[in-house]
Amino acid sequence: MIIQLAWRNLWRNKERSALMISAIGIAVCAMLFLVAMTRGFMLSLYDSGIEALPGHIQIHHPSYLDDPVVDHRFDPNDHTLTKLLEAPEIERWSARIKVPAVISSEYESRGITLLGIEADKEPQHPRHGYTLIEGDDAALHSNGDGIVLGQALADKLETRLGKRVVLMTQSAAGGLAERGIRVTGIYHSALTAREETEVYISLQTAQKLLGLTSEVSEIALFVNNTSMLEATQANLTADLAPSLEALRWDEINEYLGATMKTMDQFIYIIVGVVFLTLSFALVNTLVMAIYERTPEIGLLLALGLKPRSILACLSIESMWLITLGMLMGNALALANLYLMGDGIDLSGVAEGLAMMGASPYLSADLSFHDWAITNALVFFLGLTTSVLPARKATQLDPIKALHAS
């Protein structure tokens, strides 16, 4: 009877209830939509970050990140290391040379980061967060000879595909290593700074230039399950030689790591702020409903209905209101996300997004976890909020309430 009474009370003022259900629906839709968009943005940042690093975990000489010179190198063919990299949780790995260098054309010289990579072991599209726009990257495969550089750098150097440039860097012996090399590919990256500073040659070419046999600057590895990243790192660290360290992506790119963590919190701040706004409307609706029904509540109390039954009745009424609003909100949010398809084209502000390392296509990503947390928060906080005015109603004096106008 209490449930039935609550349901019928809900529809006593149809306009008000419909308005409130719509308000809850729109708020829930906004929450889910914002959560999905923020998560999508985070995913874009993460993907770009991982592509640019790239890798979930990197192995270096402990001093390498502070001073990324050829002196801080290591041999990837070490037996223990090779064994560790065969662990089932590691999906794939690649070795790289990554050292500071100078590139010169006939007209200009620039300081760059020289990357020697094994193209066939690196992520494919886009490789290192770039897209080839001229030539090819065949030179980056084993025994390839040629250099792939960014469009912005090519412009600065006033060079182009097929022309030769000179690379200069410190050799492993401590002397100057230099050689001329032909431009075989030009890439475009969302981040202009990368186009200007990162140039690619094959790992073997880089080793030859630096006077190395098999040593590298870093090993980047991708894991099968990113939720097990810390465990994988711990396993690696436990058995790695003391002259090496294994760092997660968020330790290497602390800015990205901190951004991801902040945005993780930000998602729930969004939910909290939207809910706070919603809760005022919810409380107001219930206060009005109780105000209008004061004589009736007085009658029920006078007839012997327990205050907890009144509380239950009003709380169930709120529950109906919140549940219907949530159903509407979820349907609206899912429809919106479906209609959005591949994402929103924000190419108008692509430069700004690129500076942050995000894609110009902002897509939504609504995980079950976010969906469940958002709905659970709205439901339980909504109910808690509505209990406050309902509790007040149970404390009414039946006689005064009966005669309230």
Partner 1 sequence: MNKPNELAVCCRDLNLTFYQGGAAIKGLDHVSLEIHSGDSICLSGPPGSGKTTLLNVMGGLLSPDSGQVLIGEQNLSDMKASELANLRLRDIGFVFQSYNLVPVLSALENVGFIMEMQGRPKPEIESKAKAMLDRVGLSGLYDRRPAQLSGGQQQRVAVARAIVSEPTLVLADEPTANLDSQTALQLMELFQSLNKDFGTTFVIATHDTRIEAYTNRHIRMQDGRIESDRRD
- The footprint of partner 1 (CB under 8 A) covers 1, 5, 8-9, 12, 295-296, 298-307, 309, 398-399, 402
User: How open is the CA angle 66-231-238, to the nearest 5 degrees?
Assistant: 65
d(CA 345, CA 181): 39
Contact residues for 258 (Cβ-Cβ < 8 A; gap 6+): 250
Q: What are the DSSP E strand ranges found in 105-232?
A: 109-117, 130-135, 147-150, 164-170, 176-189, 198-202, 218-223
In the chain, count of helices (H) and strands (E)? 14, 12
Coil, helix or strand at residue 249: helix
Instruction: Look at residues 43, 40, 93 and name the one whose alpha carbon lies nearest to residue 256.
Output: 43
Least separation in angstroms between residue 295's CB and partner 1 is 4
Under 8 Å between Cβ of 185 and 153: no
**Cβ–Cβ < 8 Å for 126, 54:** no
Nearer to partner 1, 234 or 399 (CB): 399
Spatial distance between the Cα atoms of 307 and 353, rounded to a whole number of angstroms: 56
Q: Which helix (H) or strand (E) holds 326?
A: helix 307-340
Sign of CA dihedral 87, 89, 91, 93: negative
Query: CB of residue 298 vs partner 1: minimum separation in angstroms?
Result: 7
CB of 9 to partner 1, least distance (A): 6
Nearest approach, Cβ of residue 299 and partner 1 (Å): 5
For residues 193 and 399, which CB has a smaller minimum distance to partner 1 in the complex? 399
- Residue 133 burial (CB count, 10 A): 12
Closer residue to partner 1 in complex, CB, 18/399: 399
Instruction: Give 161 or 311: the residue with its C-beta nearer to partner 1.
Output: 311
Least spacing, CB of residue 311 vs partner 1, in Å: 13
Q: Look at the block and give the residue holding tokens 């609550």.
A: 6
Return the number of the residue (5 or 172) whose C-beta is nearest partner 1: 5
Nearer to partner 1, 2 or 85 (CB): 2
Closest by Cα among 198, 119, 96 to 151? 198
Q: Which is nearer to partner 1, 5 or 334 (CB)?
A: 5
Q: Which is nearer to partner 1, 305 or 346 (CB)?
A: 305
Between 211 and 295, CB nearer to partner 1: 295
Minimum CB–partner distance for residue 398 and partner 1 (Å):
6
Least Å from the CB of residue 289 to partner 1? 12
H/E segment holding residue 104: strand 90-104
Nearer to partner 1, 164 or 308 (CB): 308
| Burial group, residue 119, by CB count within 10 angstroms (0-12, 13-18, 19+) | buried
Beta bridge partners of 74: 216
Minimum distance from CB of 291 to partner 1 (Å)? 14
Minimum Å distance from CB 399 to partner 1? 5
In whole angstroms, give the CA distance from residue 173 to residue 211.
Answer: 7
CB of 404 to partner 1, least distance (A): 9
